[in-house]
Amino acid sequence: MSTAKKKFKLFDMNRDGKGVDPGEDTTPNLKFFFKQLARKFSKIISLNILMIFQVIPILISIYLYVFASPTTPTQYYPEYAALFGLQETASTAAGAVNMGIFSFQLGLPTYNTYVYWVIGILMALLVLTYGWQKVGSIYVMRGLVRGDSVFVFSDYFYAIKKNFKQGFALGIIDCLIMFVLGYDLFYFFNSEPTGFSNFIYVMTLALIVLYIIFRFYTYLMIVTFNIKLGKAFKNALIFIVLGIKRNIMALLGLVLVTALAVVPIFLLLPLGLGVALVLPLIYYLGVSAFIYTYAAYPVIKKHMIDPVAVPATPDNEQETE
């Protein structure tokens, strides 16, 4: 083959990947996880490009809030007002020194400006499309985990079309729950430490961990089965317990991948290497989704697919009530 026809295909979203070798042990254990991750890594990176749109509105909003939001100079120390009055009445050298010490100002954000309107629009756009983005990415990731022939771009939008209503509804519910849990965590973290507030804070952390595991299964079930959301939620709660070993391993994997993404930021940013902020965007969402989908799908298969033993459809999907 001529070299002119060779192409760099890492980001070819409609190229089929390498399949499972005939006779290979495909037991979904830790050893096969690393084999499958290496085998499907280019596809995962390609899917990650589409998944970035799940975080772009958040990143833009943070940038606007930190760097573009109009601010109002505000005194940090409450003593400043009294010192200023004393200096105006009778100026002294000691008063001038204290004025210099206590004159530090903060730039507090000015609310109800165009920046907040833009942030609001971005957040609304994210919430309205989040469920569709999740069903698209999880459908593709399920195929990668199972070793199916996957065409990232076309399969992504096929899943959105197929799960349009349920994906939208689940996305709205998901965003609402994440907002409530995040608000509670922030509120009790900053509240006055008491026995009650500390207890609620710990309980909120526990609920967040359980909800993270709960989310392993919800989107995966609606792209695999013809199932109502209420039934999917009920099953997801059950799978938190039935798949506890795989769920714990997935959580540990997510912690490890997050550490690998965050630690270089703290190490490289002080050196002026801003590339540390970009690197996680290349792989983090895709690898994280592969970890929890690899953990969750065998649990669903064992308890919902195998017992039914219905012949596979062209999509290799099952139906349930």
Contact 235, 305 (CB under 8 A): no
Structure confidence at residue 5 (pLDDT)? 43
Confirm whether 76 is domain-assigned.
yes
DSSP per-residue letters across 222-256: HHHS---HHHHHHHHHHHHHHTHHHHHHHHHHHHH
Confirm whether 142 is domain-assigned.
no
Confirm whether 99 is domain-assigned.
yes
Tokens of 312: 């596979």
Structure confidence at residue 62 (pLDDT)? 87
Structure confidence at residue 319 (pLDDT)? 44
Mean pLDDT by 10 residues, the chain (321 residues): 44 54 77 94 96 93 80 60 66 67 60 82 96 97 94 96 97 97 92 88 96 97 96 97 97 96 81 76 95 97 84 48 40
DSSP state of 68: I
Confirm whether 35 is domain-assigned.
no
Q: Is the pTM of this model over 0.85?
A: no
Full domain range(s) for residue 80: 71-109
Confirm whether 100 is domain-assigned.
yes
Structure confidence at residue 321 (pLDDT)? 40
Please compute, for residue 191, the number of CA atoms within 13 A of its CA located in the half-sphere on the CB side: 14
> In whole angstroms, what is the distance from residue 135 CA to residue 157 CA?
9
Tokens of 59: 């990143």
> In whole angstroms, what is the distance from residue 63 CA to residue 53 CA?
16
Number of compact structural domains in the chain: 1
Confirm whether 141 is domain-assigned.
no
Q: What is the dihedral of CA 287, 292, 294, 296, to 10 degrees?
A: -170
Strands 71-75 and 105-109: antiparallel
> In whole angstroms, what is the distance from residue 43 CA to residue 61 CA?
29
Structure confidence at residue 135 (pLDDT)? 97
Confirm whether 101 is domain-assigned.
yes
Structure confidence at residue 20 (pLDDT)? 55
Confirm whether 290 is domain-assigned.
no
Structure confidence at residue 225 (pLDDT)? 95
